[in-house]
Chains A and B, each alone.
Chain A
């Protein structure tokens, strides 16, 4: 596949030779194969949520052709046309979890992007020294938080949060999630700012803006795609986080992944309801991915090659 890489646009490559055609076929073959690999599990999850036991057991694949779609899986969430008008304890539960997930993920990502962008800008523009720590050390200090295995902090956080009355609160979860995604944000934003020429700010300073004024009015708008990219990545990580959510929440702040994991138990798995819940859990991110995909690439592109 490497034959057909970046030099495609040159005249010499555009001759419709047999070799060129074979290359095209190979490339599109690979593309379609990988598309299937990426999308089939999602297709499988969504279709399974409309299946009944025999459909699952017999491995039926295509709705309306292989099997008649049913709402059984969605009924277990109280989200089917039949049940939508009725009062349902399971639906209330689901909506509560969904809201919790949304609030914690969005707040933590926002907070991380704000704190992280500021720190990254500082690190890319100024030389700091805190005691023995210089810029590379400070960078490493931030980035090393990414390395921290969650289990190290599990029990300390449990006890600490208990003392601070932060157990089972969304605030507690938001703070912790901010911590876990902050390194990734700093990493992305540092490259982002490094790729913005310093002259821009120097010009702004000459025009009488303060450092913060230049940062907010000149630099941030340029770095926006990077911030969106960092935000989306943070969102992905926080929305899907399971370990701490399972540990630190119980009633009020419990999130969706915990609900998905607790579908498993001593009674076997009802694939249809598992699939329905999984679908509900992955759908928001899929939508965000489709809508904002271009920002991710743009955001990572800046400064990727120095």
Chain B
């Protein structure tokens, strides 16, 4: 909510003419979210500081958006106090004349380099502090940052995500304001107003001449559009560059993010073959399905439908279904799989919500059930319920279970001892632990079980992932015995 711009250009008070705001007065402008004030704490020929201060109405902010799922609709939030996209709006509305390139009394100063120092207080930057430098140094600024402890009473809580940023450069004031206009919301990563088509225009308009050459342009575009990929793609495409690889850094849901973290982690150890572990897992599963002549399959805990996507054109299958407890995951799976658009001859796809600790009649309609990297997301004491739901109540002919091999974790450099591969893992098993569990389950429920490593095996630690295939012995055969 606070930005100061200081110059030592002589006469320094000339910035009053550039900003169209006299240093001897308080200037106040009403904006949709409150008020913007401009005043000058210091104004001499040698040094002049202009302050742009926002007076955001915290109550109006919440009340205006009541009843919508708008992210600002939170009872206690930092919006009134930080340098956010509100600041960009204020820059645009209060200093609009200069942004458009005109000055009534000092036109010659508009494009002239003058020594400038900008200070932005409480600038949110949840990414690494160095990101501030990555953004501004390529534009020629001297960058200084100051950080703050979350709470001095509780030093163990660490630092806050806010910085006071000082930028120094000799350049036209208009250029500085444009950079701030674009990059403040990029840092904040939260926008207060809805994103529409004209946003693309605005970014392109103000990015002219500098954004194209900026080494962080993809990140800037992504963050400017608050991770809405399609917008950032349009914008990037229109920057007419060679189709830059869009990184996986951010996606919409937290779960997705965590999943991709796990994949990145697991992929980091793969050899030049570069077959990602989850692809190998899927291959192992389909191999087992074919071996046992499975035509109908239920993927328990299907998440966003990655396995089903892999199987969607498999002619040997007539019906593939997925269930998950998370409605959000199922929605993503639905968008990915588009069950309505399956072609004739391809398996029918079904998706439904269910949970693995409740018996579900629908589970009985399939020849095989798969639990691919699922059991480790269930509290260990609840596995008894899962076991009964899957092996006793659903009782399919074949059950395939995969889970990480915790021994292999020793090879992940980024994992400390005892740490799991995924924040939501409730446990991770060694090969022996998995074998013991699977043998007991098979025994209790009349299955035969075989074990298969997934991924390239290490001599000492085994393969990164492990698979157990449970098969019910042929019923006819049993009767004969």
Please say whether chains A and B are actual partners in one complex. no
